[in-house]
Amino acid sequence: MVKQHTPVHLTWLKRRTWRSPHIIHIMTQQQPPWPSPYPNANPNPRGKCWLILVLIAVLPLADVGALPFLFTHLKPQINWTQPEMESWVIEEQPRSIQPHLEPVLHPNRTHRVLSSDSTDAEFLQRLVSIRHNQTASSRMLWYDVAGGDGLVYPPFVDKALKLLNLKQVAFEIENSVMSKVTCTACRAGAGMLQHQIQSGKTDAELIRMITDYCTNLNIQSARVCQGVAQLFGSELIYVLKRVNLSPDELCSFVIGDGCADVYNPYHEWEVIFPPVPKPPRLADLPIPMEAAPFFKVLHISDTHYDPHYAEGSNADCNEPLCCRLSSGRPATPNAAAGKWGDYRKCDTPKRTVDHMLSHIAETHKDIDYILWTGDLPPHDVWNQTKEENLAIIKDTVKQMVEMFPGVPIFPALGNHESAPVNSFPPPYVNQVDISISWLYDELDIQWRRWLPQSVTHTVRRGAFYSVLVRPGFRITSLNMNYCNNKNWWLLLNSTDPATELQWFIYELQSAEFSNEKVHVIGHIPPGHSDCLKVWSRNFYKIISRYESTVTAQFYGHTHYDEFEMFYDPHDLNHPNGIAYIGPSVSPYYDLNPGYRIYYVDGDHDATTRLVIDHESWIMNLKEANLYGYPIWYKLYTARAAYNMKALRPSDWNNLLNELTNNQELFELYYKYYWKNSPARPTCDAECKKRLICDCRSGRSHDRKHFCAEVESKIDEESSKSWKSWFYKGLTNSAEERTEVPAATTSDGYGPLDVVIVNVGG
């Protein structure tokens, strides 16, 4: 029986009515605590459809009267008004206080850290001999005019393309690599859209304008342009009509550090911590005991099941998602979609999902519980409906129940579950036609197959919850879409949407009082560039305050196999948290399908609840399509692959230092990061800096704070490598010169003589 429970110690929360996400604490007297961050480039395989919505930016070239919006010093004064408060009393909500998981005895189950795995090594050696996939070249979202596609643009449009460099903008948006180019396009588009709204154009006229320019510029096919304009245009126009933000403020909010750190009192806030001293921190966490009981945990993320995937259809289309009958016929045999999936912009066919789940159920019969971190629908973001997304959620939940009967599953909400994608209005947006209750109410029904009744209140409010798994061990699932900077609704007010972070503090403080350890699950990693910088900053403080309580975090979203580090904000030499980012099931794009297995310190007197080890399993998609049958195999085990004595935050921090200094080890990490995909590109010094900084940055849009030293070391090593190559070339030339008779020229030097001029340094 689950009862409402409020610890006696939490009197600081009693009789407090939490204000709606509008105002917790507005910082109007000081600048943001960090200077303009460094660009946070993170390869991300999901298209961002808001590009189409800013293409209206080309209009200023035909309407000079609209140009004043580009001058930010003309921005009107912000008149701040306090919105109405919404009553939601955190301590009155039921809590899970009864252990939810009944452990199952698995005789003779062990987990050994092996120094090598000969079977895997032999199998991997065979994979090395496979030829590289011929579709690894990147493709843009439109046809290349220079490539001879026959398109001729009007002169002013051609100038607009050159001015705004929309092709680079599209690439950066699609890969979450934001720079000043994207920032310029965003400011122009946002300003012009605001100008058109203020001029009195109707919603229908604005949407038609967006559709026409998207189509005429050949940004996408006509149906994609129309679908995106209809799905996203109405929502964006609704929000822009209700905010008083300049283009600079809008784009700083959406893009982050790629567009400066513009101070805006609407989007600067702080959560409130209880007046409880932080427990003394340990110099380092103890290493989990060997041969002690453990939990075996399955982590599945980013399935992106596509019910319309069609083998043999066009996999090389010019839309955000291919491999469907609607994608057309393939131009060449190589352009045809494979039976089990494709490395190009295609999601997961049903047969691949079915085969993976069957393989897991057969291979890992001793799974104790499952972490399921979201993104179930496919990437057809221009053509989605609420009904179809709900159908996919229901079908996949039903399948998980059937494949893993009796196994507890702890889900988290992805950004693709809503329609349109990334649209998650906070509770104060409660109009029937735009409220998110259509999704959250159904999630509560579906998730209750595994979760206790106590989670209903928070799931229906904001799709987050907390469950006591075992005595002293709790799992908390967060809705990371409230940190999603592509969630337009947060432009209205981003202050702790749904009061989620304040509730999170309440849960962690209760856990601290009860001596519980907590694992946090979610979809978007808090340090990713898709996470709002102000939300991420507050989350980072929470993790630092409760570092003795939160022992691991688990996310998805990026589709890669990686991790993020957390440090004491006042002492970067003290790592205090680790976030595991699991690989995607979907191959979208250039990836092999994969999943992860964790071994978590189990029930015993000295348990740490740390992750003891983890394994990544993949299916080689090229071989599966070539031979007609997939083989799932263990790609690597973390401790054996990286020679780690444990997986504590300090151990991951040591690995980061080794990755910076050891190029061979980094190349191994890079292979696993791409899930051993034959389509992975090469990684230069800039790529290496980006990946290692991604690992160090558990706080988004703050790379300068975390990565300056790492980037300096990599630049230094890169410079040494270049100098070594250069001087080696000079040495070889000199050796050759001694063997070849040299004729003297009029200037006194032989034809192979080298003159070295000291230019300083």
**Model confidence band, residue 684 (pLDDT cutoffs 50, 70, 90):** very high
Answer left, alpha or beta for residue 590, where phi above 0 means left and psi between -120 and 50 means alpha.
left
Give the residues across from 215 on adjacent strands: none
Residues 6+ apart with CB under 8 A from 119: none
H or E stretch including 361?
A: helix 350-363
Residue 289 DSSP one-character state: P
Mode of pairing for the β-strands spanning 562-568 and 571-581? antiparallel
Q: Is 554 helix (H, G, I), strand (E, B) or coil?
A: strand
Cα angle at 695 between 693 and 696, to 5 degrees?
65
Smallest Cα–Cα separation from 282: which of 548, 511, 473? 548
Write down the pLDDT at residue 177.
56
- Which tokens sit at 419? 């329609």
Give the residues across from 294 on adjacent strands: 601
Write down the pLDDT at residue 171.
55
Residue 534 DSSP one-character state: H
Q: How far is CA 744 from CA 593, 733, 736, 741, in A?
A: 63, 17, 16, 10
- Which residue type is seen at 116? S
What is the pLDDT averaged over residues 319-329?
A: 95
Write down the pLDDT at residue 112.
65
- Which tokens sit at 224? 């994609």
Write down the pLDDT at residue 48.
45
Q: Does position 183 have pLDDT exceeding 60, yes or no?
A: yes
- Which residue type is seen at 37? P
**Model confidence band, residue 114 (pLDDT cutoffs 50, 70, 90):** low
**Average per-residue pLDDT for the chain:** 81
195 known ligand binder: no
Instruction: Lowest mean pLDDT of 23-37, 325-339, 384-398, 717-731, name the range.
Output: 23-37
Cα distance between residue 372 and residue 614, in whole Å: 16
Q: Does position 421 have pLDDT exceeding 60, yes or no?
A: yes
CA quadruple 287, 288, 290, 296: dihedral sign: negative
Q: Does position 79 have pLDDT exceeding 50, yes or no?
A: no
Write down the pLDDT at residue 757.
36
Mode of pairing for the β-strands spanning 465-470 and 473-477? antiparallel
Q: Does position 67 have pLDDT exceeding 50, yes or no?
A: no
Cα distance between residue 716 and residue 720, in whole Å: 6
Cα distance between residue 637 and residue 652, in whole Å: 14
Domain boundaries in the chain? Answer: 155-258, 294-309+347-715
Q: Does position 151 have pLDDT exceeding 50, yes or no?
A: no
Q: Does position 47 have pLDDT exceeding 60, yes or no?
A: no
Smallest Cα–Cα separation from 377: which of 362, 389, 360? 389
What is the pLDDT averaged over residues 639-647?
A: 97
Residue 676's φ and ψ, nearest 5 degrees, are 55, 35
**Model confidence band, residue 174 (pLDDT cutoffs 50, 70, 90):** low
265 vs 403 pLDDT, higher one: 403
415 known ligand binder: yes
Cα distance between residue 709 and residue 683, in whole Å: 20
What is the pLDDT averaged over residues 514-537?
A: 96
**Model confidence band, residue 134 (pLDDT cutoffs 50, 70, 90):** very low
Write down the pLDDT at residue 1.
42
Q: Does position 474 have pLDDT exceeding 50, yes or no?
A: yes
**Nearest-10 Cα torsion for 121, 123, 126, 130:** -110
Write down the pLDDT at residue 322.
97
> Which class for 30: exposed (0-12), middle (13-18), buried (19 or more C-beta within 10 A)?
exposed
Smallest Cα–Cα separation from 463: which of 526, 527, 418? 418
Q: Is 618 helix (H, G, I), strand (E, B) or coil?
A: strand
Write down the pLDDT at residue 248.
86
Q: How far is CA 239 from CA 194, 479, 490, 493, in A?
A: 11, 21, 9, 10
Q: Is 477 helix (H, G, I), strand (E, B) or coil?
A: strand
Q: Does position 396 have pLDDT exceeding 80, yes or no?
A: yes
Q: In what order do the strands lie in the sheet with 473-477?
A: 465-470, 473-477, 517-521, 550-555, 571-581, 562-568
- Residue in the structure block whose two tokens are 């893009």: 255
Write down the pLDDT at residue 655.
97
Report residue 507 CA to chain centroid gap: 25
- Which tokens sit at 660? 């910076």
Cα distance between residue 659 and residue 305, in whole Å: 34
Write down the pLDDT at residue 86.
65
What is the pLDDT averaged over residues 573-600?
A: 97
CA quadruple 340, 359, 600, 116: dihedral sign: negative
H or E stretch including 473?
A: strand 473-477
Q: How far is CA 704 from CA 39, 257, 329, in A?
A: 8, 10, 47
614 known ligand binder: no
Residue 565's φ and ψ, nearest 5 degrees, are -105, 150
Residue 324 DSSP one-character state: B
Considering the four listed CATH numbers 3.40.50.2300, 3.60.21.10, 3.90.1150.10, 3.30.1280.10, the one that applies to the domain covering 294-309+347-715 is 3.60.21.10
657 known ligand binder: no
Q: What is the pLDDT of residues 231-286, one digit of tens each?
A: 998 888 999 999 988 888 888 888 777 777 777 777 899 999 999 999 998 888 99
Write down the pLDDT at residue 760.
42
Give the residues across from 515 on adjacent strands: none
Q: Does position 42 have pLDDT exceeding 50, yes or no?
A: no
Rounded percentage of the chain residues whose pLDDT exceeds 70: 74
**Model confidence band, residue 165 (pLDDT cutoffs 50, 70, 90):** low
CA quadruple 386, 388, 391, 396: dihedral sign: negative
Instruction: Lowest mean pLDDT of 161-175, 236-250, 541-555, name the range.
Output: 161-175
Cα distance between residue 538 and residue 236, in whole Å: 26
Contact by Cβ (8 Å): 744, 752: no
Write down the pLDDT at residue 156.
46
Contact by Cβ (8 Å): 25, 272: yes
First to last CA, the chain: 74
Write down the pLDDT at residue 76.
43
What is the pLDDT averaged over residues 355-362?
A: 98
Q: What is the pLDDT of residues 80-111, one digit of tens each?
A: 444 455 678 888 888 888 888 887 777 767 77
167 vs 466 pLDDT, higher one: 466
557 known ligand binder: yes
Instruction: Lowest mean pLDDT of 178-187, 288-297, 485-494, name the range.
Output: 178-187
Contact by Cβ (8 Å): 477, 411: yes
Instruction: Lowest mean pLDDT of 49-63, 386-400, 742-756, name the range.
Output: 742-756
What is the pLDDT averaged over residues 532-551?
A: 97
227 vs 720 pLDDT, higher one: 227
Q: Is 1 helix (H, G, I), strand (E, B) or coil?
A: coil
Buried b (16+ CB within 10 A) or exposed e, 432-458: eeeebeebbebbbebbeebbbebbbbb
Residue 310's φ and ψ, nearest 5 degrees, are -130, 115
304 known ligand binder: yes
Cα distance between residue 27 and residue 265, in whole Å: 6
Q: Does position 547 have pLDDT exceeding 50, yes or no?
A: yes
Q: Does position 701 have pLDDT exceeding 90, yes or no?
A: no
Q: What is the pLDDT of residues 493-508, one digit of tens each?
A: 999 999 999 999 999 9
Mode of pairing for the β-strands spanning 562-568 and 594-601? unpaired
Q: Is 320 helix (H, G, I), strand (E, B) or coil?
A: coil
- Which residue type is seen at 522? G
Cα distance between residue 752 and residue 731, in whole Å: 12
Q: Does position 592 have pLDDT exceeding 90, yes or no?
A: yes
Q: Does position 384 have pLDDT exceeding 90, yes or no?
A: yes
Write down the pLDDT at residue 17.
39
530 known ligand binder: no
